[in-house]
Structure 1
């Protein structure tokens, strides 16, 4: 629908003889030149989409007249230009669209109306696992296994690609979604046909992965949302939000010799976590911007979820245009981008006035030192000079172990003694770093120098190279470095997201046995962005994020219990010690290789036929038809019950009586703790289900690969082996106590017993509930288990939205209360009263508690339904029922 243009901003722009319509921010009565650039992009989005319904003039005015005090006071509806999916979250999204087509038919509507209304692009990148490694044929073997495991899912995606309009799939083994987005999918400035005229506007998006923010490095505004919210955006629903606070990060100085972009981003993550930017926009500015390569900007933007921000935005400038040209974009696209951004005042130059922000933080790049982060959280940065001390402190204080324990691993190469801190996984992986040629070439240079000095990686280390795109191996090959990485067993294992999301694959049996026998705190070192408990590998407790060259170094050392500055990595052929400083490349070495090895033609070759796929993909037998033919025999794809018995009319929220607590959790419970992820234990409810359906344990695949089957996923909800539930009688993992019987059972079994008893459920938690990746099953799973409300001290932004999207009510303790302060064990029953006032954001609800000893208490909670749209979604039972009812009329 064309904009009402109540503010008279529609204008024309000529670029090399082509006329474009656009909404000119400079025509507003208000002066927006000092507004943060990210908010100016958001303002243009409102002006262009003003239609009197989804976006009204009174919603535009507060942002058009922005001051720092505006934040949090007004709701806006953000309409992204496109939606980006990866397959772990994308498959269930397509499953839901298929289910919505069925439900639309049941409501008497046309199933064919259910299509993405904005471009939706899905990149298959999360399904490859590191089964084979360290050998020449590892990639081919892992690809074969990937298709063997995921044929059913991939065939379903082929159906979606054929049946759904406005939907494209980048097939498996093409790269990581965020790097493919950065290198190819991102338009920066769109040009659409509208009533016979071209319309230019900024590329914006939401994605079903929290690291969607990586594209902020290219000047594209976008962030991660839950799969549920992304589906609604695909179906034309604006993303409802309050005008955010914007924290400006002023960058000064220059990275010193020896420091990498990874070290910079770990420093920024630590700094911003300490400052507090959760739920806020972060925008980078300052004199160092012009000196920062685009790849470094993307590395910083990628980590926005780790420092807690909604976005980590860099404005478009000359460096952006240079990157577009270097990555093979057309000159027409580049010219349009430059002209549009300059016309709108969105193009950064050193002379541009510095914006006004809600708060500012300064980061001096010259103060950055080589670093790691771990052993559990990305924000826990450790200077490399303190790495050994940091590990030893964590060994005793975090893991409760004393130094000295060892165990023998009987490897093919001979017996090896492992101890606490033995590095058993060294992985160059993840979108954060493999998008950055400087750190990838640095890793290759470290490998080259190590091989030339006669060093080798330790035999107990599982090494892997999983680039973010085909271009990475092209430039490593062109630089003459790929062969050196291979000599150190960093062979290509796949083009996708592997170790960072838990697809690290099995360790050698001898290594696992040694870890178990010695009860060892084994370590991983990965060039990723996530190192939460239980994420990387079930047997590996200490996980450290590091730059790719440091990953190579730790594979050579084989342990965290060494000093990289004073201890040798090994000895050369002459028996001389070789230190890290002997292998570390200079900035000039890396820069010379960058100039020699990067070629725009490599990008054009890699992306010329990106949607076609390889022979494996082309051989898939794709079904046809508007409605998907579900199979009861499938253990991958099932019709979810989200729309069962859906009526056209919606009722009012009702109070909750007699609820039991399914889990009583502490602080910083991540979506990895809640949502099923990683390997499926045969002894778990999910494993038992699969075996009952004829699936052998070796064919279980991962939870992520089975996200299209709600029966598997609900059984794996809250099943993380590191979950600490205060109702689990001291046992770690997915267990809880059924009350009042006192039986300790898997959480799924307990929930099903409560369902049979007609008992509603709640979850209690501490601060920052739901941090981590934007996992929609962290909300879908609890909803299917019968959870109606989560009472926490605070929520992570995306997860709170996802809870609402599934009809679960997020409630916050008030007045500094928490479960411990209120002496709540979780064995009580709970009445949540006052739902009739839920439309008033100022009104708290009352929770009445009935204790086992017969006493009663009460406390207040605040419903976190922050916008009218969130209230509407909750009342409908979630976003998708709301959209479906709207489309069905």
Structure 2
């Protein structure tokens, strides 16, 4: 039961409080006692360059002079890996000049911090510069919970929610339950924080965290460094959780000492007292959390996960059997370490320790090995400590401090197609995500394991049992990497790429009329009840459909500021339930199969409104609102799924699409290619009431199917007005 939030509002809060309870209560902006939603006021908004473009284009429509809360822009998603650092940065500055100038101009006009390309990955930059325990940070990236490792509540949001924050509108979220994760024992040896979150994923799956905030506690917390905790909270997003958080303790304060955050260090005692778990919670956790799961570090295996979902766990001893059963190659074509999940000083130092052991005996990487430091500051530090030289001597190619291959920004030249296997310390392994090749099997793991597999060239190696062979024929047992603590290390903050701006309405934000990269937005039209009569089925999707499937990243990232252009990638990765083909559907007007976006655009031009039907957890993955804006732009009125991922569901609501779930999931089988679907009296939709659709089949038979929805009164207003942005603009005009 949602005991926590209900008691908040009735002022009957049990003492002591969980960390989640404490932080949410401090940020509450109000709620209706009968509502399933609460409103909270965030302390800060952070946006990366790919999602920020559309958010800013929407914010410009409001005509407000500045952002209502502190906001930062981080240029990390648009740098493509082709040759490595620094050449890729030079190429990105040229290729993306128009976008970077737009973002910088917006930052100057509205008073936002601007982190230039090459400064670092957004989530590492937030840890180094903006983390204050007890704060609530929202970001236009699903891995914003990364900051939870430092006892900051981070929530990933869509672009329209970011616009709300910039306008001073509280963030509305479902009342979260709190799932306590009891960490027992001590983490050591080859076990890593990555194994911990992979184990959590194996328990919860990719949607089991939906509606929860994951809160970690127990003796095992003490053996996790702050950035290791961030790895765990970062990938909590893969469970569907709203956020994840750790308590504050000495290890947390070691990190603030490392970054010389005096504002936090000066309040060290008070903050630890406020944001650590009280004895009553530790003694009887099930009385304070809605649910509790336990992970015993002393019994934890070493894991990899894959190949096409982060919750598919395989212990090292089971890899050969899994390979035979599922048909993936154990030989790897390359190994990558980095991403926002595993690019900290500790991550890289542990990888360097493995490389150093190998180098002493003359062993180097057997396959291409790529390393991404999380920030310019981290890169400078590992160079100073000698780890960068160790890794490059070992065979590593250093990539720019950016997202790179993790978001598909990789111009891979060694293998364009064909079945192959990749080892990576990243956070997602969906098909085609990293290198665009549908036949690439990606396995997720710790950085030290990815480094080891760069030596073996094969996943079927267990460092606890197996030996390497040195060039002179001797056996070598690689020892577990040392735990390099940061308590005695100081991070020298360069922050060369940071521009702190005050609002200046004199700054002009110019967008060329002939630009492929940027295009001003036009508001979506208001709801017309007639549009919901005689809708056609654009596609019925089979199986997993993430935001990567709906709106591919990679080469399409360059068009994130041009809605018309990027709509050409609509559902490129979706599998058609009728034909099992990828990215194709049947054009009813032409009687032939075509790319889904092509059919959608023709239907739009012919004023044919359409719907999408999908299965479980539709919209899993990143926060990109383009996955909602593209179908809306091309004429989608309704999306029906067995279930939705949290951020994507909100994005659909914000953009004026009606999102419904099957009352009876078996009704998925009752929808066919030539069906004509009608929703009569859409204006009668009410919160908590089911919706009925009339489905007329090609044989003349009619089914009346029933669906659920989660719209409240405010969200139904978004639907009526055409989008949440239209509601904001309408209110702004009224005030003017």
TM-score tier by shorter-chain length is over 0.9
CA contact (8 A) 2:67 2:110 kept: yes
Structure-to-structure mapping, 1:121-270, within 5 angstroms: 121-132=72-83, 138-165=84-111, 167-188=112-133, 202-270=134-202
Q: Secondary structure at the match of 2:494?
A: helix
Query: In the TM superposition, what whole-angstrom CA distance separates every residue of 1:285-322 from its partner, at most 9, and x where no partner exists?
Result: 22323343212211111111112211111122333223
The alpha-carbon deviation at position 583 of structure 1 amounts to 2.3
Supply the distance in 2 between the matched residues of 1:74 and 1:421 (Cα, whole angstroms).
47
Q: 1:466 aligns with which of 336, 354, 372?
A: 372
Query: What's the counterpart of residue 515 of structure 2?
Result: 634
Q: 1:454 aligns with which of 353, 359, 362?
A: 362
Structure-to-structure mapping, 1:267-416, within 5 angstroms: 267-273=199-205, 276-330=208-262, 332-336=263-267, 338-339=269-270, 342=273, 345-348=274-277, 356-395=288-327
Query: What's the counterpart of residue 406 of structure 1?
Result: none
CA contact (8 A) 2:206 2:238 kept: no
Structure-to-structure mapping, 1:754-793, within 5 angstroms: 754-793=603-642
CA contact (8 A) 1:387 1:563 kept: no
Q: 1:837 aligns with which of 684, 688, 704?
A: 684
Query: What's the counterpart of residue 544 of structure 1?
Result: 443
The alpha-carbon deviation at position 491 of structure 1 amounts to 2.6
Quick one: structure 1 residues 633 and 740, their matched pair in 2 at CA, closer, same or farther if it must change by over 3 Å?
closer
* Residue 452 of structure 2 is aligned to residue 583 of structure 1: no
CA contact (8 A) 2:348 2:373 kept: no
Query: What's the counterpart of residue 22 of structure 1?
Result: none
Supply the distance in 1 between the matched residues of 2:637 and 2:223 (Cα, whole angstroms).
50
The alpha-carbon deviation at position 494 of structure 1 amounts to 0.6
CA contact (8 A) 1:121 1:170 kept: yes
Q: 1:36 aligns with which of 5, 13, 18?
A: 18
CA contact (8 A) 1:499 1:526 kept: no
Q: Secondary structure at the match of 1:819?
A: helix
- Normalization by structure 2: what TM-score? 0.92
Supply the distance in 1 between the matched residues of 2:427 and 2:253 (Cα, whole angstroms).
27
Q: Secondary structure at the match of 2:698?
A: coil
Query: In the TM superposition, what whole-angstrom CA distance separates every residue of 1:553-599 from its partner, at most 9, and x where no partner exists?
Result: 22222234666666655x42312354xxx22335xxx23x4369x62
Query: In the TM superposition, what whole-angstrom CA distance separates every residue of 1:210-259 from its partner, at most 9, and x where no partner exists?
Result: 10001111111121011121111221111212321111111111114221
Q: 2:570 aligns with which of 717, 722, 736?
A: 717
Query: What's the counterpart of residue 846 of structure 1?
Result: 692
The alpha-carbon deviation at position 170 of structure 1 amounts to 1.0
The alpha-carbon deviation at position 117 of structure 1 amounts to 0.7
Structure-to-structure mapping, 1:556-571, within 5 angstroms: 556-560=455-459, 569=468, 571=469
Supply the distance in 1 between the matched residues of 2:210 and 2:144 (Cα, whole angstroms).
16
Quick one: structure 1 residues 653 and 366, their matched pair in 2 at CA, closer, same or farther if it must change by over 3 Å?
farther
* Residue 353 of structure 2 is aligned to residue 445 of structure 1: yes
The alpha-carbon deviation at position 790 of structure 1 amounts to 0.2
Larger Rg belongs to:
1
The alpha-carbon deviation at position 449 of structure 1 amounts to 1.6
Q: Secondary structure at the match of 1:88?
A: helix
The alpha-carbon deviation at position 541 of structure 1 amounts to 2.0
Q: 1:670 aligns with which of 533, 541, 546?
A: 546
Query: What's the counterpart of residue 887 of structure 1?
Result: 732
CA contact (8 A) 2:691 2:709 kept: yes
The alpha-carbon deviation at position 542 of structure 1 amounts to 0.6
Q: 1:531 aligns with which of 429, 436, 443?
A: 429
Q: Which of 745-754 and 551-560 deviates more?
A: 551-560
Query: What's the counterpart of residue 660 of structure 2?
Result: 811
- Structure 1 unaligned regions, length at least 5: 1-24, 50-54, 63-71, 102-110, 133-137, 189-201, 400-419, 614-622, 679-701
Q: Secondary structure at the match of 1:423?
A: coil
The alpha-carbon deviation at position 334 of structure 1 amounts to 2.2
Query: What's the counterpart of residue 874 of structure 1?
Result: 719
CA contact (8 A) 1:738 1:744 kept: yes
Query: What's the counterpart of residue 333 of structure 2?
Result: 424
Q: Secondary structure at the match of 2:369?
A: strand
Quick one: structure 1 residues 745 and 383, their matched pair in 2 at CA, closer, same or farther if it must change by over 3 Å?
same
Query: In the TM superposition, what whole-angstrom CA distance separates every residue of 1:128-160 from its partner, at most 9, and x where no partner exists?
Result: 22101xxxxx31111111112111111111111
CA contact (8 A) 1:226 1:802 kept: yes
Query: What's the counterpart of residue 743 of structure 1?
Result: 592
* Residue 675 of structure 2 is aligned to residue 828 of structure 1: yes
Q: Which of 528-537 and 825-834 deviates more?
A: 825-834
The alpha-carbon deviation at position 364 of structure 1 amounts to 1.0
The alpha-carbon deviation at position 352 of structure 1 amounts to 6.1
Query: What's the counterpart of residue 409 of structure 2?
Result: 503
Q: Secondary structure at the match of 2:520?
A: coil
Quick one: structure 1 residues 274 and 144, their matched pair in 2 at CA, closer, same or farther if it must change by over 3 Å?
closer
Paired positions, count: 721
CA contact (8 A) 1:655 1:834 kept: no
Query: What's the counterpart of residue 453 of structure 2?
Result: 554
Query: What's the counterpart of residue 77 of structure 1?
Result: 39
Quick one: structure 1 residues 243 and 341, their matched pair in 2 at CA, closer, same or farther if it must change by over 3 Å?
farther
Pairwise CA RMSD of aligned residues? 2.6
Supply the distance in 2 between the matched residues of 1:316 and 1:862 (Cα, whole angstroms).
40
Q: Secondary structure at the match of 2:179?
A: strand
Supply the distance in 2 between the matched residues of 1:308 and 1:300 (Cα, whole angstroms).
13
Q: 1:794 aligns with which of 637, 643, 646?
A: 643
Supply the distance in 1 between the matched residues of 2:544 and 2:596 (Cα, whole angstroms).
20
The alpha-carbon deviation at position 440 of structure 1 amounts to 2.0
CA contact (8 A) 1:321 1:338 kept: no
Supply the distance in 2 between the matched residues of 1:161 and 1:543 (Cα, whole angstroms).
37
The alpha-carbon deviation at position 817 of structure 1 amounts to 2.9
Quick one: structure 1 residues 557 and 761, their matched pair in 2 at CA, closer, same or farther if it must change by over 3 Å?
same
Q: Secondary structure at the match of 1:456?
A: coil
Supply the distance in 2 between the matched residues of 1:664 and 1:316 (Cα, whole angstroms).
47
Query: What's the counterpart of residue 3 of structure 2?
Result: none
CA contact (8 A) 2:688 2:709 kept: no
Query: What's the counterpart of residue 599 of structure 1?
Result: 489
Quick one: structure 1 residues 28 and 291, their matched pair in 2 at CA, closer, same or farther if it must change by over 3 Å?
farther
Quick one: structure 1 residues 846 and 777, their matched pair in 2 at CA, closer, same or farther if it must change by over 3 Å?
same
CA contact (8 A) 1:388 1:562 kept: no
Q: Secondary structure at the match of 2:622?
A: coil
The alpha-carbon deviation at position 766 of structure 1 amounts to 0.8
Quick one: structure 1 residues 233 and 389, their matched pair in 2 at CA, closer, same or farther if it must change by over 3 Å?
same
* Residue 454 of structure 2 is aligned to residue 573 of structure 1: no
Query: What's the counterpart of residue 6 of structure 1?
Result: none
Query: What's the counterpart of residue 433 of structure 1?
Result: 342
Query: What's the counterpart of residue 731 of structure 1?
Result: 581
Structure-to-structure mapping, 1:108-123, within 5 angstroms: 111=63, 113-123=64-74
Quick one: structure 1 residues 163 and 595, their matched pair in 2 at CA, closer, same or farther if it must change by over 3 Å?
closer
Query: What's the counterpart of residue 558 of structure 2?
Result: 705
